[in-house]
Structure 1
Amino acid sequence: MNNINKIASTTLAIGLAMASWNAQARDFRLGMITPPSHLWTQAAEAFAEDLAERSGGEHSVSVFPSQQLGNEAQMVQQMQAGSLDMAFLTIAEISNRIDDFGALYAPYLVDDVEHAARLLRSDVAGELLELMPAEIGLVGVGYGMSGMRQILSRGAIEAPEDLRGQRLRITPFEPIRDFYLAAGTAPMPLPLPDVYDALANGQVDAIDMDFEAIEALKFYDQAEHLLISNHMMFPMVGVVSGRVWRELSGEDRELIITTMNAHLDGVIDSVLEREPAQEAALRGLDITITEADERFFREAIAQWESTWRERAPALATLREAAAVLRVE
């Protein structure tokens, strides 16, 4: 073969290799409801940077926070259709589609964020993710979380009766709606970006929220009574469209799993580190603090359990696992 033919042959081989490389390259789109300042969004951005670096620039991830691609129900539909690649979702939307995930919101399933972290990192919680591909066409990669749920209100809540009739903002999913209905409130689903104004104009009387959001978004400016109850954990899950997943190579799947899980696990670590300081900061404000435990919600818990014990068979297994992890 002469030099010209050699050069032509080499050029063709390089061109074919580059074409194959480019065919595998992806610009993934990742949606979420949290604002840019939120811990979950920061983790998604860090995941995007890390995936690009680990893939040698082959893959990139564009992150769309603040419901830019729609609410969580709409993003799930987009992933089922394959038009959205990934999302960081509250478990709330998953529980609307798979009842067993509702068990993760059982009132007082866990005591605090440390206990929640141990449960979310357990094999029992991991087994729930295996339900997702067949039932809703998504691949569950791993869990993150936010802090424990509290109640911030415009008026004082010092006894269970004080909750009755309160218009209380919730994330729109059935387990938390059923809990607050049992507590006698009028639960009102509202997206996170609308909460501050809803408190300011009196559209809602109280909100179900974690310390981080209460502090970072300054909801306490519009509601000066905080019931520290730690009544429920609030998990998050990183998911990939099942349609997109089927198109990926084994190497790319493993890369996404390891990279995303590292940042989801980092979210949990950050919550463990930050929540004590966030609680201390709120306790230092000129607001009224009341504390409550499981006894405060005794009747509501009994009613919730009677409904969800049958709907979510995983509840019994999760409570057993949580009990063991509590002892540890």
Structure 2
Amino acid sequence: MYRRTFLAAAGLMLARPALAQGTALRIGLITPPAHQWSKSAVALAARITERTQGAVALSVLPAGQLGSESQMLQQLQTGALDLAFLTIGEFANRDAEFGALLAPYLVPDIAAARRLLEKPAAGTLLARTAALGLVGLGFGLAGMRQTLLRKPAATGADLAGRKIRALPLPQELDFWSRTGATPTPLPLPALYDALANGQIDGMQIDFEGTWNSRYFDLAQEMLASNHMMFPMLAVASGRRWKTLPEEVRTLVGAEVQASLTEILDAYQGIDTTYRSQIEAAGFPVRTVGAEFFGDAVPAWYDAWRAKTPILTQLEAEAGRA
């Protein structure tokens, strides 16, 4: 099991002398308030306040209030930010091994993704956050990645030349290039306008984001491709963490673990719920598998097994090998 072992928070009484002046913490996220990560962060803050009778206060700063994830990671490194829920992207850009978690069709669904993130390879990656000046507290997830299109694609060949919004990560960009599409990185706040004005022809997105941001109002088809999982890392600032009293570290660590469990539990139903709502709105959703993308998937694996050796371990643990 990769997760750090924390003492149970229930009944824990914090040492008042260490907290005489109170402890103020902040957690940053890029997700909007309606997103599950943000909602779980708010619940996390409430639990910490209750457990400590207000001695420790956690402020939740969603929707990129502190800047991009790159900027938040820098703030964590300097100790200017205490905690964050960050997408896998910022880690993959600094250490390619993290990007192996974005392997196409590595897992078929959220349940399998959750199991994989509890196995040794993920634990190895969690430990590598220390090299970035962080304390890895655990993994969470968002929904499986789907493909939203302004115009339908009968076959994978129809993606040729289409501008598909993707994250600026080597593994993700390479996958879409191999499909024949043109991967087009754009920040999340720019997606609605970019889809509306034709700057992009589609996007890699999950059902939750598609529903909450009404992207489907600007599109004609959603491919339920489930082609990638999308991990999240809960991290603390290494500099800030070591200055906190042991009692605070124990409690915050345990409560973050509770939040990650809440997130993982939620996403086993979120994809189904939001897909149903999108379909109920009359929008066409079509299920496709790896074969839809032709040779792109096996070609991707041939290239990335050599570049990121941990991929082979992940494949074995996922039962894909």
Query: Same fold per TM (> 0.5)?
Result: yes
- 3-state SS of paired residue (1:140): strand
CA apart distance, 1:100: 1.5
1:66/1:193 contact within 8 Å kept: no
Three-state SS of the structure 1 residue aligned to 2:115 is helix
Verify the 8 A CA contact 2:140 2:233 in the aligned structure 1: yes
| Matched-pair contact (CA < 8 Å) for 2:107–2:228 | yes
Q: Which has the higher helix share?
A: 1
Find the counterpart in structure 2 of residue 10 from structure 1: none
Aligned to 1:13: none
Change (3 A) 1:150 1:20: closer
2:160 is the alignment partner of 1:164: yes
Superposed CA RMSD in Å reads: 1.8
Distance in 2 of aligned mates of 1:236 and 1:119: 13
Q: Tell whether 2:4 aligns with 1:22.
A: no
Contact map agreement 1:158 1:290 (CA 8 A) in 2: no
Letter in 2 for 1:102: G
Cα deviation for residue 172 of structure 1 reads 2.8
State whether residues 143 and 270 of structure 2, in contact with CA within 8 Å, keep that contact through their aligned partners in structure 1: no
CA distance in 2, matches of 1:277, 1:19: 47
- 2:256 and 2:239 map into 1 onto residues whose CA distance is 18
Match of 1:130, SS?
helix
Q: CA deviation at 1:18?
A: 6.9
Structure 2 alignment gaps of length 5 or more: 1-14
Corresponding letter in the other structure for 2:148: L
Match of 1:87 among 84, 87, 93: 84
The answer to whether residue 45 in structure 2 is matched with residue 40 in structure 1 is no
Q: Which moved more, 1:305-314 or 1:195-204?
A: 305-314
Q: Distance in 1 between matches of 2:111 and 2:18?
A: 46
Q: Match of 2:56?
A: 59
Match of 1:295 among 291, 300, 304: 291
**Residue 19 of structure 1: CA displacement?**
6.6
Q: What is residue 7 of structure 2 aligned with on the other side? A: none
- The within-5 A match list for 1:68-217 is 68-133=65-130, 135-217=131-213
Q: How far 1:318 sits from its partner (Å)? A: 0.9
| Count of residues in Structure 1 that have an aligned counterpart in Structure 2 | 307
The SS at the match of 2:241 is: helix
State the alpha-carbon separation in 2 of the partners of residues 55 and 298 from structure 1.
55
User: TM-score, normalization: structure 2?
Assistant: 0.91
> Once the 2 structures are TM-superposed, how far is the Cα of residue 93 of structure 1 from its aligned partner?
1.1
Q: Distance in 2 between matches of 1:130 and 1:67?
A: 26
- The answer to whether the 8 A contact 1:168-1:208 is kept is yes
Percent of counterpart pairs with the same letter?
A: 41
Number of the residue aligned with 2:264: 268
2:217 and 2:306 map into 1 onto residues whose CA distance is 41
Return 5+ residue gaps in structure 1 as ranges. Answer: 1-16
SS in 1 for 2:203: strand
> Shift of residue 53 of structure 1?
1.6
